[in-house]
Amino acid sequence: MMKKKMLLAAAVTVCGLAQAQDIYKMEMFSGADLNGTARFVGMGGSMGAIGADISTMSTNPAGIGLFRRSEVSGTASLNVQTNARDCMDRSKTKLSLDQMGFVYAVKMDDECRFVNFGFNYRKHRNLKNYIGTSAFTNGLSQTWQMMDLTYVNGYLDLDNRDDRELTTPLTLLGYDTKMLEPQIGPDGKVTGYDAVQAERYNYQRVQWGGVQEYDFNLSCNLSDQIFLGMTLGVYNVDLHSGVRYGESIYDPAGGDGTYPYIMEQREHMSGSGVDFKMGVILRPFEMGSFRVGAYVHSPIFYRLKSDQYLVMESPFEDEINNHTTLPYTTRDIDPGRNEYKLQTPWRFGISLGGTLANCLALNAEYEYRDYSTNTVRYPYTFDEFDYFGDGEKDYALKREAKDYLKGVSTIRLGVELRLPGNTYMRAGYNHETTPFKKSAFLNQFTTSSSYYYSCTTDYVNLSHLNRWTGGLGYRFGKVNLDLAYQYQHQTARVYPFHVPTDNSDIVNKLAGQKVDLSKHQVMLTIGYRF
């Protein structure tokens, strides 16, 4: 039985509008998928120096300045997470509209050759994924973490309404379903249960939806030597997620039986965001094709809101409803709609590229983002258009980001070979480092306002990410058809809850389970130039 007690140094004074934010949501909204046209994906997204593709307006906006003709294109894809377990009746295969946009090229004079305007929609992040795992509990139980969450400046009397407002929805349901009530420790404080060591817990997590990006671009071509571009990005968030966790506990009366305990959580996140991107491509040698590209992206300034729902089932008798079959007690809670602002990291990139013999295009690219600079604020003074307003900063989460997140480096390589008959062959590779430090965990024992809205205990620590891509293209007249394939390989360590060791709050007694998050994507682009 767990004896350790964790104390909060101080309760947060402002919690009315706060959203259950954490470093894992920071990571989720700070990254971007490799997505766009099939040509862009087939080259691994490495086109920051060679440009001339609609999707470059979301990486290096100057790439649109290389267009000499107007173009319109659309892209659809099929996404499959083959190693995922079926979760909560959600399909592992999904058709998706990933890109749709145009570039309008305006010919000018000899000095300013072209001024181009562009718009592009793309799937910024497709957050559809499934995680399922089970392992022996080794006697550990999620109720132990719920027990720890009942201590804020001492023990809370959860029969007292004022005390109930000082802890999390998860703890309240644990108490209301008697998962915390029946056993009292030697110090007179509530304790959790021992899980059955010989049985496995069952954990499922599913997400669907994501972030859509709408880019508005202005670019120019100066004497075929300097290409400049800027893009205004507008983002829309529509994300659904669900977690289901179950374990078996021993009969608290000392009998031989075991009893099931189940927790389910649902969340819908929505909102919007804006950012600004600037880029340049230089062709330093007038008679050569070698180019250097560079770009910088401002943070994305998100305004997000969330609706959550939590339900818990326990095997203890329900004195209110008098159930005679399992589960005896079921309780649910709706923490209500909550809002916050999220500012993601700045992004910086540099590219080198060019063509050889007018038939082989090469590009190499490096990008850096510092995830530890994420900032959360709470918009207590509401202004519909105040994306850049200060608000109330969450300093506790800022410290969590600095302690457990780090800078992310991305390397992209791409090649395109032109074959006879207007046919093209492409290949690409990406490597992206993990945003999490080895010590990262979901720390719910902070002075953050998010503490009061914590509805889950699980967290997932991602590994490095590798992508391999390939593609084919064919042009006939003004029409081009492009096909691409992307294999994305990434693993992760999953922790359904966190039970600290006796010597460290950071080290989890519960062993993390390795899961494979690899995905396959096939995409087709149809384009028309005029």
Q: Which residue has the tokens 């006796």?
A: 502
The H-or-E segment that residue 29 falls in is helix 23-30
pLDDT value at residue 103: 97
3-state SS, residue 184: strand
pLDDT at 212 over 80: yes
The H-or-E segment that residue 25 falls in is helix 23-30
pLDDT value at residue 199: 81
The domain spans of the chain are 23-140+210-529
Listed in sequence order, the residues at least 6 apart from 530 whose beta carbon sits closer than 8 Å to its beta carbon are 69, 70, 71, 72, 478
Distances 155 to 161, 173, 237, 304 between C-alpha atoms, Å: 14, 17, 39, 33
- Region of poorest pLDDT, from 84-88, 274-278, 313-317: 84-88
CB 230 within 8 A of CB 37: no
For 45-102, how does the pLDDT look when each residue is reduced to its tens digit (9 = 90+)? 999 999 999 999 999 999 999 999 999 999 999 998 877 665 555 666 778 899 999 9
Cα–Cα dist 465/267, whole Å: 26
Distance from CA of residue 37 to its chain's centroid?
22
| CATH domain 23-140+210-529 topology | Porin (2.40.160)
Arithmetic mean of pLDDT, 462-472: 97
> Of residues 351 and 446, which shows the higher confidence score?
351
The mean pLDDT of the chain is 86
pLDDT value at residue 349: 98
Cα–Cα dist 512/440, whole Å: 12
pLDDT value at residue 162: 78
> Of residues 178 and 58, which shows the higher confidence score?
58
Angle between helices 395-404 and 23-30 (to 10 degrees): 70
> Where residue 6 falls among pLDDT bands split at 50, 70, 90?
very low
> Where residue 17 falls among pLDDT bands split at 50, 70, 90?
very low
Residue type at 481 in one-letter notation: L
Look up residue 113 and give its two tokens. 């050759």
Q: What is the DSSP letter of 478?
A: T
Cα–Cα dist 72/526, whole Å: 9
Task: Please give the full DSSP string across 382-436, using - where no structure is assigned.
Answer: --TT-TT---EE-HHHHHHHHHHB-EEEEEEEEEEEEETTTEEEEEEEEEE--SB
Q: What percent of the chain has pLDDT over 70?
A: 86
pLDDT value at residue 323: 55
Task: Please give the full DSSP string across 33-67, using - where no structure is assigned.
Answer: -S-S-HHHHHTTT--TTT--SGGGGGT-GGGGGG-
Cα–Cα dist 372/402, whole Å: 5
